[in-house]
Amino acid sequence: MALIDWRRLGVGVRDRWRVLRDREDVQLGLKIARYTIFTGVVVYLIYRLTSVGWGEVFDNLPQSPWFYFFFVLRFLALPVSELAIYEIVWQTPLLRHFFVFIRKRVYNFAVMGYSGEAFLTIWARRRLSLSDKTIIVGVKDNNLLSAFTSNSATVLLIFFLAGTGGLRAGVEAFPGAGVLFAIAFMTAATLAVLVMVFRRRLIALPPGVMPVLLSVHATRQILIIGLHAAMYAAALPGAPLEAWFVFIAMQLVLSRIPFLPNQDVVYLTAALALSPIVGMPEAAVAGMLVAEAGLSQLFNAVLFAATAPLARSTASR
């Protein structure tokens, strides 16, 4: 029996996928499917909030200033860490270009996953005195390490919740949630292992740089999870802390779905289904989640508009 050349088979599948992906009808179909799903999510979100009562929701917006303070810190954690990371990767001072990393975050969370990487690559090719290879490889390597830490965090958090019994609430939150958690867990675990095993072939960073970047990514991931939990605890201090980790696990699971449009709105819709595990009035949980999503959309819109002139000016140079 002839042995299967898995490497050649993998290359063939990848090439066929690229040809299929680049077809206009396939791109149009994927775009229609993506926004049809998003429209359905928004319609369901409006239905859920209407059933709770819009007046009650807005009456229960968080009163604690700590909620808003932790939100700002959580929002800034990603662009601040990526500024430091790309200064190391590209060996270029980037502090005066901090707006680029703010805009990158807005693209990824408000427009579509990975659109921020495309923006950063185009900006860097126009503005930085670096070769295209250095820029593209830097973005690719950082993205792989970021995905590795995010996937690892997803796996560890699901393991923790499974051990404490908290995962059951997330699995039973809405129809298909169990399948979503299972797929996210398997995908995250598989990708994390693949990056670990094939890191020498996948990542082209100089010796000693990868551990530094991993430490930055890991620190940021722990910080963001901690700030997220602290934000919720400040809004509803009587709720069990474990409940907030179920919410955060849901957010991590959804973030593993590639090319998801507007993660904040999708997460708000899914998180509303988890409100019974908090042990608080549904209007209070909804008010907190609406405040979080509203702040996210406000920050995204304001910062996107504020950085637009800077992006245009740098693009023209």
Instruction: Give the residue among 194, 193, 196, 169 at the shortest CA–CA distance from 181.
Output: 169
Q: Angle formed by the axes of helices 132-164 and 241-255, to 10°?
A: 140
Give the number of other Cβ atoms within 10 Å of residue 304's Cβ.
17
Instruction: Specify whether the CB–CB gap between 241 and 166 falls below 8 A.
Output: no
Phi–psi pair at 63, nearest 5 degrees? -95, -25
Residues of the chain with pLDDT under 70: 1-58, 60, 113, 173-177, 258-262, 310-317
Give pLDDT, residue 9.
43
Q: What is the pTM of this model?
A: 0.78
How far apart CA 153 and CA 155 sit, in angstroms, is 5
pLDDT tens, residue by residue, 179-191: 777 777 787 788 7
